[in-house]
Structure formats: C-alpha cells, structure tokens
A = this chain, B = another copy of it.
Amino acid sequence: MNQPVLTPEQIDDFLKEHFPEAVGFVEIDSVEPGAVTIRLATKPHHLRPGGTISGPTLMALADTAMYFLVLSLVGPVALAVTSNLNINFLRKPTPGTLLAQATLLKRGRQLVVGQVHLRSEGEEAPVAHATVTYALPSTGA
C-alpha cells in the first residue's frame, strides 16, 4: 500500500529537472515501502567551529529526506511543501557521513506526516530526530 512509485534514479532525475541547485547535496541510499534513507558527506561549509555539523544542515537534511519520501509515495509532485517541521537536536554529530532515514507515519489526502532519524554513519544513537508534515497540492478538477 505504501509501495514506492519512483526509483532512486527517478527521484534524481526529477530533482535535476526541477531543483537543479539541489543536485549533489545528498545521495539516496534506499527507497523502500514507507521509508527513504539518504546520506550527506559533510563538506567544510556544513561544519561549525570544533568540527561539529551546523543545525541548519541537519534541518535541511531532515526536510530533504522527508521530501524524497513524499516523492516516492505520490510521484513527481514539485509543489508538495513543508507545512510543519519539529526537530530535537540530541547529540553532537561527528564530521563525516550523516544518514537520514525518513519513515511514514501517515499518508492523507492533504497531509503526509513522517519522522526522520539522523545518525552519523556507523553509530546507532541518533544525533537528531525530526517530525515533518508535507502538504500536498489540491487535486480538484
């Protein structure tokens, strides 16, 4: 029922067409029913003094993971927009690769709600946890 309707390659192609400036920010690890995992190889401009990763980078990563989950479920809908994002920052991430796994909580006609766990690669404890709601464009005739 939550079978993906897009492959990772199709999501990439969609981004290249509609959000060319976002290409290269992350890579898609996997697209499964109701779950998408992406990865970010952090670069110097994602970092803060002391080598930690900036909060806005983590928020952008959570939002992107959830957007890809929405795309995987509803197809190429450029106009889905974030309506609410709540994030708890839990631990200092270490530089290197960050993984963000978005999982579905509810797919409604108007709203899609999911949660995102962010982890440093190779570690179990999450560095941040977000709950994200996307609003879908109305499909009225």
Copies per assembly: 4
How far does the alpha carbon of A110 sit from the alpha carbon of B135 in the complex, in Å? 10
Q: Which of A47-105 contact B (CB under 8 A)?
A: 48-49, 55-56, 59-60, 63, 78, 81-91, 105
One of B59, B81, B113, B138 near A85 (C-beta < 8 A): B59
Count of residues in A whose CB is under 8 Å from the partner chain: 39
Is the C-beta of A37 less than 8 angstroms from some C-beta in chain B?
no
Closest to A140 in B: B140
Verify B90–A106 contact, CB threshold 8 A: yes
Closest to A136 in B: B110
* Apart from the given pairs A19-B49, A55-B81, A55-B85, 15 other A-B contacts in the complex at a CB distance below 8 Å: A19-B48, A55-B63, A56-B56, A59-B59, A84-B88, A85-B87, A86-B131, A88-B105, A88-B106, A88-B131, A88-B133, A90-B105, A106-B126, A109-B138, A131-B131
